[in-house]
Chain A
Amino acid sequence: MGGRGVTVKASPQGSPAVGRPDRRAGGNPRRRSGRPGAGVLASFIAPGLVLFLLFVILPVLFAAYVAFFRWNGLGGVPTDFVGLENFRNLLQDDVFLGDLWRLGLIVVLSLVVQLPLSFGLAMLLHQRFPGRTAFRLLFFVPYVLTEAVTAVLFRLVFSPRRGFADSFLANLGIDAQIGWLSDRDIIMFVIFGILTWKFFGFHMILFLAGRQNIPDELYEAAEIDGATRSQAFRNITLPLMGPTLRMIVFLSVIGTVQLFDLVYVLTGGGPFHASETLAITMYEQGFQRNQIGYASALSIAMFLISLVFALFYQRLVLKRDLQGSLTNAGGNRS
Chain B
Amino acid sequence: MSVITRRAHLLRHTGFYIAAFLTTAFVATPILFALLGGFKDNQQLRENALGLPSPWNVENYTDVLSSGAFWQQTFSSIFIALITTFIVVACSAMVAFVFARFAFRGREGLFTLFAAGMMFPFAVAVLPLFIILRTFELLNSPLGVILPQAAFGLPLTIIILRTFFRSIPGEVEEAATIDGAGPWLFFVRILLPMARPVLATVSVLALVGSWNSFLLPLVVLQKSTWWTLPLGVTQFSGQYASDTAKVLAFVMLAMLPALVFYAFAERHLISGLTSGGTKG
A residues with CB within 8 A of B: 1-3, 5-6, 8-13, 15, 17-19, 21-22, 24-27, 29-34, 36, 38, 40-41, 43-45, 47-49, 51-52, 54-60, 62-63, 66, 73, 120-121, 124-125, 127, 129, 131-132, 135, 137-142, 144-149, 151-157, 159, 161-164, 166-168, 171, 197, 201-202, 205-206, 208-209, 254, 257-258, 260-261, 265, 278-279, 282-283, 286-287, 292, 295-296, 299-300, 302-303, 306-307, 310, 324, 326-327, 329-332, 334
Contact = CB atoms under 8 A, between A and B. Distances in A.
B58 interface: no
A331 B113 CA distance: 11
B158 A138 contact: no
Interface string B112-123: 111111111111
A12 B23 contact: no
Interface string B58-98: 00000000000000000000000000000100111011011
B37 to A, nearest CB: 7
Nearest to A5: B209
A299 to B, nearest CB: 5
Q: Which of B103, B163, B229: most chain A Cβ within 10 A? A: B163
Contacts of A17: 274-276, 279
Contact of A15 (B91, B98, B274): B274
B53 to A, nearest CB: 14
Interface string B183-219: 1101100000000000000000100111111111001
B30 A326 contact: no
Nearest to A142: B27
Contact of A127 (B16, B150, B251): B16
Given A33-B173, A327-B116, A145 B255 contact: yes
Given A9-B156, A22-B167, A146-B212, A331 B111 contact: yes
A282 B279 CA distance: 40
B156 A10 contact: yes
Interface residues of B, number: 130
Given A19-B279, A55-B147, A265-B234, A279 B123 contact: yes
B237 interface: yes
A8 B244 contact: no
A326 B115 contact: yes
Given A47-B91, A145-B258, A327-B112, 15 more contacts: A8-B208, A19-B278, A29-B102, A33-B186, A49-B110, A56-B125, A149-B233, A153-B251, A156-B37, A159-B244, A205-B270, A257-B121, A296-B128, A303-B121, A310-B119
Contacts of A331: 107-108, 111-112
A55 B33 contact: no
B170 A30 contact: yes
Contacts of B110: 45, 49
B221 interface: no
Contacts of A62: 128, 131-132
Contacts of A261: 212, 214-215, 230
Nearest to B186: A33
B209 A56 contact: no
Given A34-B177, A282-B123, A47 B151 contact: no
A329 B237 contact: no
A19 B208 CA distance: 23
B19 interface: yes
The 7 A-B residue pairs with the shortest CB-CB distance, nearest first, are A12-B276, A26-B166, A330-B112, A22-B167, A55-B151, A167-B49, A48-B91
Given A22-B167, A205-B274, A206-B273, A56 B212 contact: no
Contacts of B177: 33-34
B49 A299 contact: no
Nearest to A19: B278
A140 B258 CA distance: 12
Contacts, number: 397
Q: Which of A1, A62, A159, A166: most chain B Cβ within 10 A? A: A1
A206 B269 CA distance: 12
A140 B262 CA distance: 10
A279 B216 CA distance: 12
Given A12-B277, A41-B104, A168-B50, A56 B152 contact: yes
B258 A146 contact: yes
B128 A11 contact: no
B119 A129 contact: no
Interface in B147-191: 147-156, 158-160, 163, 165-170, 173-174, 176-177, 181-184, 186-187
A158 B167 CA distance: 50
Contacts of B270: 140, 205
A292 B151 contact: no
12 contacts: A8-B156, A29-B100, A34-B177, A45-B110, A51-B147, A59-B128, A124-B19, A132-B20, A148-B233, A156-B244, A254-B119, A302-B123
B170 A31 contact: yes
A284 to B, nearest CB: 11
Contacts of B34: 153, 156
B42 A324 contact: no
Given A2-B212, A149-B255, A13 B159 contact: yes
B29 interface: yes
Contacts of A124: 16, 19-20
Nearest to A1: B209
Contact of A197 (B17, B30, B103): B30
